[in-house]
Amino acid sequence: MNQSYFAQISKFVLAATSVAIFSPIASASATSGFSTIVAQISDNSTGQQLLADKKVETRSRTTTIERQTITTESRSSSVSRKGKKTGFSLAIWEPSGNLSEVIARISVKSKGSKGYLKERFLGDYKYKIKQKAKFAKGLKASDRIVVRLYDVQNRFIGYSEFECLSANTTVNLVLSAKPTEYQVVRTVYGVDADQNGTIDAGTTTYDYFTQVSDQRVSFLSSSQTFQGSQFQVEGLSTIPGTSVYPVSFTQGEYALVRQSFVSVFSSDLAEALQATPGSLVQVIEVSDNSSYDVSQMLMNYRQVGMSRALQVGFSDVSTNYWAKDFIAELASMEILEGFPDGTFRPDAPVTRAQFAAMLRKAFAKGKVRQAIAFKDVSTQYWAYNAISEVYQMGFLNAVIGKGFNPSQSLSRLDILVALAQGLNYKTSSSTDTILSVYSDATTIRSEYRSLIAALTQRGIVVNYPNVNLLNVERVATRSEVSALLYQALSSTGQVANISSQYVVGQQQQQVAVEEQTETSTEGVKPRRHCNQGIGNGSEGCDPGNSSPHGGSNDEGGRTPGNK
């Protein structure tokens, strides 16, 4: 292959005073009558880890909190920065000086097409007080980051949750003077597009308190039920009289402030989220200017960092199966599901309806065209919503006579063209030169050659078993679609790259292409094994030819009733 068309991947550079005694807050804040300010977020706006030797005993903890009565006020701020990547820097403070180190257990609840996905573990990080670390890649605006705090004796001392913004976010967590007694955390964060460690002028500063009592979290209306001065840090804004929350924390189905039940721990959490720090995975020592690749950490911890309710290992996907890691990661992201009998069926075909269901879960894109009424897709059809939405996003076209043909199996060319068109990928290089890597390049129809070249240039094309054979007319299998879909996500910077000899051009390192769609496009260096360092074990997953748990509207991509 001519390597002149594959540039070296660009290196992603990641780059309160006196002790006060205050009374328990949860019940007092419920009747305090203080209002909460809600700030509207505008849409314009790695070290290798090893499993510890010890086993972990987990337990279920469910509790409730009192309902708070609050009023909300909407405030808008522009947080958009064109071309900026979503990520966050996290600093931890304890102004009284009673603590010198703290362990931050970090996890993410990704925003999906139907709400938030199950919480995934990102690691345990030992901070010195006042230290800061950066977390980037694999995040998008509206994802929620959860931080559980422990002292170095592994005693739980606090909880916070914040929302990723559309540009880089700087986050400060401030602990109370006696965190083991009063598990209160002040959270202060906002847009830091230039990544200088301070919240940008003219943007909203979110500032609120959380308190844990009996394993339940209260998102407080204000700091006025206790002496808040101990949470004041030089350089941070003065503590507001009323809490300032993102609007999603107080309004809608996923509000936290209005919830009567926010549990710190639950029985379906990932094993790593229930374990004592250091007992299951090694605690990461944060050094000055540490930076971490979120997408990589998700892969590193996949074996122990996912909800117990998710299945990513399948009886017919062996540990050395060529597409195992592609499949497992998509299953862990809840894009794909397996079959009730525990299989994946990697060689089964994929229909247009099933692929639509996958695309809907994988990509959050704006509409580029108006919906049409497909004559062969009724409003009662299991994939009606998915088909309508991905059509509007530009991924799949109508067939002759305004039909969709939902049960038609897709060829490899169909999959590739849909991805290229939906992501609006183009190439400015020589199409013929790029396609010369394929020994069957002449079989690609002229109207599709530039699209296939654009995908090739971005490292999206995966060919098994012969990396140089495109086989455009062959019916695409579930495993092939999994690999292609995952690589498409990787091209947008949402997930880490998976090293595979079957990814075209991976050994030459793909071009890092500037985004041409609403989603950021970013090259990622290949790695050896996605679960490297955390043990081995059968992992697999479940591409979208499957039904959702407990429902007949099979938006997971499998025909309802298939066994």
Task: Collect all residues with Cβ–Cβ distance below 8 Å to 10 and sequence separation of at least 6.
Answer: 512, 523
pLDDT at position 37 is: 60
Would residue 437 count as lying in a domain?
Answer: yes
**Are 193 and 146 members of one domain?**
yes
Helices 478-491, 324-332: crossing angle, 10 deg rounding = 70
DSSP H stretches of helix in 423-544: 431-435, 449-457, 478-491
Helix and strand numbers (H, E) in the chain are 10, 17
> In 419-451, which positions are buried (b, 16+ CB within 10 angstroms) versus exposed (e)?
bbbbbebebebebeebbebbeebeebeeeebbb
What is the sign, positive or negative, of the torsion defined by CA atoms of 427, 429, 433, 434? Answer: negative
Would residue 341 count as lying in a domain?
Answer: yes
Would residue 398 count as lying in a domain?
Answer: no
Residues 486 and 506 sit within 8 Å (Cβ to Cβ)? no
Residue 133: Cβ-neighbour burial (10 angstroms; 0-12, 13-18, 19+): buried
> In 300-339, which positions are buried (b, 16+ CB within 10 angstroms) versus exposed (e)?
bbbbbbbbeebbbbbeebeeebbbbbbbbbbbbbbbbbbb
Structural domain containing residue 458: 310-349+412-508
Domain end residue (candidates: 278, 298, 318): 298
Q: How far apart (Å, rounded) are the C-alpha atoms in residues 410 and 349? A: 7
Q: How far apart (Å, rounded) are the C-alpha atoms in residues 272 and 303? A: 9
**Are 328 and 258 members of one domain?**
no
Distances in Å between the alpha carbon of 422 and those of 7, 82, 362, 481?
24, 21, 12, 15
**Are 256 and 288 members of one domain?**
yes
Q: How far apart (Å, rounded) are the C-alpha atoms in residues 77 and 79? A: 6
pLDDT tens per residue, the chain (563 residues)? Answer: 444 333 343 333 333 333 333 333 333 333 333 345 655 443 333 333 345 544 333 333 332 222 222 222 232 222 233 345 789 999 999 998 889 999 999 999 998 877 899 999 999 999 999 999 999 988 989 999 999 999 999 999 999 999 999 899 999 999 988 888 888 999 999 999 998 889 999 999 999 999 988 888 889 887 766 777 789 898 898 988 899 999 999 998 899 986 666 788 888 899 999 999 999 999 999 998 899 999 899 999 998 999 988 888 899 999 999 999 999 999 999 999 999 999 999 999 999 999 999 999 999 888 999 999 999 999 999 999 999 999 999 999 998 878 999 999 999 999 999 999 999 999 888 999 999 999 999 999 999 999 999 999 999 999 999 999 999 999 999 999 999 999 999 998 888 889 999 999 875 544 444 343 333 333 333 332 333 223 223 333 333 333 333 333 344 444 333 43
Query: Could you tell me the two tokens for 42?
Result: 């505008």
**Are 150 and 231 members of one domain?**
yes
Would residue 340 count as lying in a domain?
Answer: yes
Side-chain-side CA neighbours of 332 within 13 Å: the count stands at 29
**Are 167 and 44 members of one domain?**
yes
Residues 472 and 412 sit within 8 Å (Cβ to Cβ)? yes
**Are 320 and 178 members of one domain?**
no
**Are 246 and 321 members of one domain?**
no
How many domains does the chain contain in total? 2
Determine phi and psi for 419, rounding to 5 degrees.
-65, -45
Residues 543 and 344 sit within 8 Å (Cβ to Cβ)? yes
Would residue 527 count as lying in a domain?
Answer: no
Selection from 276, 270, 271, 281 nearest residue 50 by Cα: 281
| Tokens 């592994």, residue located | 154
Would residue 404 count as lying in a domain?
Answer: no
Q: How far apart (Å, rounded) are the C-alpha atoms in residues 293 and 337? A: 26
Helices 352-362, 478-491: crossing angle, 10 deg rounding = 30
Residues 33 and 69 sit within 8 Å (Cβ to Cβ)? yes
Q: How far apart (Å, rounded) are the C-alpha atoms in residues 54 and 49? A: 15
Q: How far apart (Å, rounded) are the C-alpha atoms in residues 136 and 554? A: 33
**Are 333 and 253 members of one domain?**
no
3-state secondary structure of 234: coil
Would residue 355 count as lying in a domain?
Answer: no
**Are 206 and 320 members of one domain?**
no
Would residue 400 count as lying in a domain?
Answer: no
Domain end residue (candidates: 261, 276, 298): 298
Q: How far apart (Å, rounded) are the C-alpha atoms in residues 209 and 219? A: 6
What is the sign, positive or negative, of the torsion defined by CA atoms of 191, 196, 202, 204? Answer: positive
Q: How far apart (Å, rounded) are the C-alpha atoms in residues 112 and 316? A: 28
**Are 212 and 330 members of one domain?**
no
**Are 214 and 332 members of one domain?**
no
**Are 215 and 315 members of one domain?**
no
Cβ count within 10 A of residue 265: 18
Residues 25 and 211 sit within 8 Å (Cβ to Cβ)? yes
Residues 38 and 219 sit within 8 Å (Cβ to Cβ)? no
